[in-house]
Amino acid sequence: MGTYLGIGNGIKATALAVSFGVASLAAIDMGVHADDTIVIGYGAAVTGELAPYDSPDGVRCQVERMNEEGGILGHKIELVIRDMKSDSSLSGTVAQELLDLDAVVLLGPPTDDTIIPMAMLAQPRNVATLSVGGTQPAFPVAAPDNGYLVPYGDNASAAAAAEFAYENGARSVVLLISHDVGSYSLLTPEYFAQAFERLGGKVLGRINYNSGLADYTPQITEIKAMDEQPDIIFGGMIVPEAGVFPRQLAAAGLDIPVYGTDGHDDPGVLEIAGDAASLIRFTTHGFPAEGSALKSFYDDCEARGYTVQNIFFGLGGEAMVVVKAAIEAAGSVDPAAINAAMKEIENLQGVTTDSITYSGQGGIPLKNMTMIEIVDGAFTPAKQVLPGFVPSP
């Protein structure tokens, strides 16, 4: 494995002081299979276009580690993964299958259109549903009773990028807008615009594009023809366009920084963008510095035979830290108690960050974020950002 991202200072999932008290033996036994295991269901994008932004292996590795340490409440964790194939029409089918296997928590894929059907099916059973890699605030807004993001929200990461760009002298921006990657590619640029304009920046225009193309000449031609050239370009891009667009931009003679969020957080973007990778700046979940919890997690998982591809591997591990904390806080594997306890999590030590808070956040955790630049062909942390203003989802 070459380059990957993430940061943190520990992986302690301590029980939280919430108002459930000590659960009865009967309550603890709810959700425990005859073989003394707790079932966690994961409707994952194992295959398809969303696969790089989901991480069944990160979850698997963390479950393996937790089971070696005694599991949760003395019960082993049984992780059941089903491939929803990056297809929103299959996510509901997969969720129902996992619920029928008595999963007490559901983990799910990284876009709002794929995770919302899972949460809707799980809601009548009060089963908490967590998007392992999804950052779209639309999900917990649509599923307020049982929907949670494991990562930060796009509204926060876009605001962090806007603050960083403005601090570095940017005063004008062109937004790239796409309808192809759920609300990530459609709304993230608008969150950036709100934060950037609040700081004093100006939006010069909005340009539509399609995800996954090999040629962005029309969009670049439109930018080149503008009367006023933007200081920066911002888009909710993913690979391959996260690398293709800056490469073609540079080839057209436009030396304009391209900002984004964690859709750029894939080592493949370095090879795709080539020398133009130096134009890229983006918000992500952290960085694996020596001595950090994420670096330790990556190293341990790689020693176990796993391949760490990107930050989403770390978020997979973090998802299970959140699940374990909620179950231990509830003192029970009753889904309703777990769901209620999850809403009260505060200052939890994570894998990618040193503090995770769900209390009062509406299912979107409050976290520190890391701004990344690409220096000498390598992802390089530039600044930790907790923005002063975050647009409402």
Write down the domain spans for the chain.
Answer: 25-152+290-366, 155-284
Fold matches, 25-152+290-366 and 155-284: yes
pLDDT score recorded for residue 32: 76
Length of the chain: 393
pLDDT score recorded for residue 368: 87
Alpha helices, H only, the chain: 25-29, 56-68, 88-100, 112-122, 138-142, 154-167, 182-199, 217-224, 241-251, 268-273, 293-303, 311-330, 335-342
Question: On the CB side of 32, how many CA atoms lie within 13 Å of its CA?
Answer: 18
pLDDT score recorded for residue 31: 65
Question: On the CB side of 25, how many CA atoms lie within 13 Å of its CA?
Answer: 0
Q: What is the DSSP string of 159-209?
A: HHHHHHHHHTT--EEEEEE-SSBHHHHHHHHHHHHHHHHHHT-EEEEEEE-
For domain 25-152+290-366, the CATH superfamily is: Response regulator (3.40.50.2300)
**How far apart (Å, rounded) are the C-alpha atoms in residues 351 and 296?**
9
The CATH number of domain 155-284 is 1.10.630.10: no
**How far apart (Å, rounded) are the C-alpha atoms in residues 28 and 69?**
19
- Cα distances from 300 to residues 67, 157, 205, in angstroms, run 15, 28, 46
pLDDT score recorded for residue 224: 97
pLDDT score recorded for residue 30: 54
- Record the pTM: 0.82
pLDDT, tens digit only, all 393 positions of the chain: 233 333 232 222 333 333 333 333 333 455 677 578 999 999 999 999 999 889 999 999 999 999 999 999 999 999 999 999 999 999 999 999 999 999 999 999 999 999 999 999 999 999 999 999 999 999 999 999 999 999 999 999 999 999 999 999 999 999 999 999 878 899 999 999 999 999 999 999 999 999 999 999 999 999 999 999 999 999 999 999 999 999 999 999 999 999 999 999 888 999 999 999 999 999 999 899 899 999 999 999 999 999 998 999 999 999 999 999 999 999 999 999 999 999 999 999 999 998 899 999 999 998 988 999 999 999 999 998 988 999 998
pLDDT score recorded for residue 5: 38
Q: Are 370 and 385 contacting, i.e. CB atoms less than 8 angstroms apart?
A: yes
pLDDT score recorded for residue 34: 59
pLDDT score recorded for residue 25: 38
Q: Which two tokens stand for residue 258?
A: 């391209």
